[in-house]
Structure 1
Amino acid sequence: MEFKSIFCVTGADHSDEDLTTAAGLCAEVGAHLSVLIIPPPLLLMSSPPLEWGTGRAQAIAVPNYRFQQIEKFSQDVTRMERRSADILKRLKAMSLSCDVDTDYCDPASLGEVARQRALCADLTIVGADLLNDETLGPPVVNGCLFDSGRPVLIVPKGAKATLSPRRVLVGWDSRVEASRAVREALSLLSAAEEVCVAMVDPKAQNNGKGAQSGADIAAYLTRHGARVSVDLLKSAGKSAATVLTQHAADTCADMIVMGAYGSRGLRERIFGGPPSWSFEKTTLPLFLAR
């Protein structure tokens, strides 16, 4: 599919690195960029967090505490409005079609807020700042990747992101998630100079035709104009993620396309073992679909 609408989430205290990445990708393919700025989680304005005594002292302390919270919220609003205006001005200067919004939501609603925005985008960009944010990262990736049904491009620290990759490695295992990832990335794969379909410890096919593992997906991609080769890899006791990472490096791949699997926990699905991924082990962009 073509990417005409790209979504990006940034935190109030993040650098502009993720925005720069998303803006560059939009400029590359002429896409609209939707930016969502998430301010710091609002503190509950209920009662002081410490023991303030009783009687008159407490009667004074509680209103003062709430006043401080309201004052902090007002300062956050002003700061976010200024940041939103700065980002919009910067993107307009790049002649990008864009919109910038801020959502003041409680932490429990972050995933749903991200999911709703991702539903109306062709692709969500998750950059290094968001990946390293333990408060925003997990719910945003949960909402955008695992709950929206839309693809996500993970751009780890140091990765050179492009939506026109020359060489792409496809991690294939004949599961529905891998099929969706290939379908969502079809425009990238069809335009690439080389597409390597890599299978780790593939199981023999029982279709009675004696076809080589990966021949079916290779034929499908070839019909769409992709130039495909199939590599059957042995894990030798290593995780699938480790094997694919090394093979991507060996083949000078610009991007890895693969399905996203696993349980609800973000750490188990992305930062854990196969077929999930450890971003610390690769500097390649990862195109993921659920």
Structure 2
Amino acid sequence: MAFKSLLTVLTGLEDADPALRQIIALAGAQDAHAEALCLGVDCTQTGYYYAGANAMLLQETLTRANAEAAEILAHANDVLGKSGVMWSADDGVAQIADLGRHVAHRARFSDLVVLSRPYGENRGAAAEPIVEAALFEGHAPVLVVPDEGEPLTTPKNILVAWNQSVEAMRAIRRALPFLRAADLVRIVVIDPPTHGPERSDPGGLLAQMLARHGVTCEIDVLSKSTNRVSDALNRHAVDTSADLMVMGAYGHSRFREAILGGATRNMLEQAKIPVFMAH
């Protein structure tokens, strides 16, 4: 199985190009269709009354969101039209509180959602909810790409973060088209449990399963030398020249990760290579 239906969601020109470059590269490599959903985001919430607000002000924010959507659509049409791949683009306006519904509807019918990194400079309030909507409501795998670097086509050296979780296994199953085509897949286990079914052979059953799919695997068992798992994964990705990270997303609640941090959030903030996630 290959990724045949690719989706990206754009809400601003500042971070549109990394996602557009990546979806074009993948569409060419996978002979897939690239779709861009260009949304103007209305950050007002009409269910609440704001002091000093009136109908003219609310209409102005809606008009601005429509103009932003049209501007993003024009840019996507220009970039995709020059790409030579199969593509389509559509625009619309969504209120910030209702953004997830629009994203989830499109993500549900996509094999892979390609998004720019949701954290960093020039990132709007919509970036994080879009990633979460695609993962949780759309039930789609998400490829988050950094701002710099060459777009991914067929990754050859893939790092898989394995912690025996349901989320990690789901990400691995969804990433099989990439894993089968890779030269080497490194299964990375950090501080394996001293008790449990994999205590004597961390990652062994996963390597066996992937090998039956024709995947060449190695198992790297690492010690958690820092407070954050993401730091160890990122350092190992650099040390091994990995070009893709595969990991489960949000093993803890999204609220806890937003307040206290977590492997998913920290990875998306720091990763220098594309991160493939599923929940």
Q: TM-score, structure 1 length as denominator?
A: 0.83
- For residue 224 of structure 2, give the secondary structure of its aligned residue in structure 1: coil
Contact 2:20–2:79 (Cα < 8 Å) also in 1: no
Contact 1:142–1:266 (Cα < 8 Å) also in 2: no
Describe the shift of the 1:98–1:203 C-alpha distance in structure 2 as closer, same or farther (beyond 3 A): same
Residue matched to 2:230: 241
- For residue 203 of structure 1, give the secondary structure of its aligned residue in structure 2: coil
**Is 1:213–2:202 an aligned residue pair?**
yes
Answer with 1 or 2: which has the greater Rg. 1
- For residue 125 of structure 1, give the secondary structure of its aligned residue in structure 2: strand
Q: Give the counterpart letter for 1:34 in structure 2.
A: E
- For residue 104 of structure 1, give the secondary structure of its aligned residue in structure 2: strand
Contact 1:171–1:257 (Cα < 8 Å) also in 2: yes
- For residue 24 of structure 1, give the secondary structure of its aligned residue in structure 2: helix
1:204 Cα deviation (Å)?
4.1
Uncovered stretches (5+) of structure 1, i.e. residues with no partner: 51-61
Deviations 1:29-55, CA, capped at 9 Å, x for gaps: 2211111111141646898853xxxxx
Describe the shift of the 1:218–1:106 C-alpha distance in structure 2 as closer, same or farther (beyond 3 A): same
**Is 1:21–2:35 an aligned residue pair?**
no
Farther off after superposition, 115-124 or 271-280:
271-280
Residue matched to 1:6: 6
- For residue 14 of structure 1, give the secondary structure of its aligned residue in structure 2: coil
CA distance in 1, matches of 2:179, 2:214: 8
Q: TM-score, structure 2 length as denominator?
A: 0.86
Contact 2:8–2:114 (Cα < 8 Å) also in 1: yes
Farther off after superposition, 75-84 or 276-285:
75-84
Deviations 1:14-38, CA, capped at 9 Å, x for gaps: 3541322322222222211111111
Q: Give the counterpart letter for 2:152 in structure 1.
A: T
CA RMSD of aligned residues (A): 2.8
Residue matched to 2:277: 288
CA distance in 1, matches of 2:273, 2:72: 30
CA distance in 2, matches of 1:42, 1:202: 44
CA distance in 1, matches of 2:82, 2:182: 30
Residue matched to 1:186: 176
For 1:35-114, list aligned pairs within 5 A.
35-41=36-42, 43=44, 49-50=51-52, 66-67=55-56, 69-70=58-59, 73-74=62-63, 76-78=65-67, 80-81=69-70, 83-114=72-103
**Is 1:230–2:219 an aligned residue pair?**
yes
Describe the shift of the 1:264–1:72 C-alpha distance in structure 2 as closer, same or farther (beyond 3 A): closer
Residue matched to 1:59: none
Contact 1:170–1:195 (Cα < 8 Å) also in 2: yes
Deviations 1:75-128, CA, capped at 9 Å, x for gaps: 653553354244224313322222211221211111121111110101111114
1:276 Cα deviation (Å)?
5.0
CA distance in 2, matches of 1:167, 1:48: 52
CA distance in 2, matches of 1:242, 1:47: 44
Q: Give the counterpart letter for 1:139 in structure 2.
A: P
Residue matched to 2:152: 162
CA distance in 2, matches of 1:228, 1:66: 61
CA distance in 1, matches of 2:233, 2:116: 21
Q: Give the counterpart letter for 1:91 in structure 2.
A: L
Q: Give the counterpart letter for 2:25 in structure 1.
A: G
Tell me which of 230, 234, 246 is aligned to 1:257.
Answer: 246
Contact 1:245–1:282 (Cα < 8 Å) also in 2: yes
CA distance in 1, matches of 2:126, 2:186: 34
Describe the shift of the 1:287–1:95 C-alpha distance in structure 2 as closer, same or farther (beyond 3 A): same
Describe the shift of the 1:274–1:80 C-alpha distance in structure 2 as closer, same or farther (beyond 3 A): closer
Uncovered stretches (5+) of structure 2, i.e. residues with no partner: none
Describe the shift of the 1:40–1:200 C-alpha distance in structure 2 as closer, same or farther (beyond 3 A): same
1:169 Cα deviation (Å)?
0.6
Identity %: 27
**Is 1:151–2:141 an aligned residue pair?**
yes
1:263 Cα deviation (Å)?
0.4
**Is 1:125–2:126 an aligned residue pair?**
no
- For residue 94 of structure 2, give the secondary structure of its aligned residue in structure 1: coil
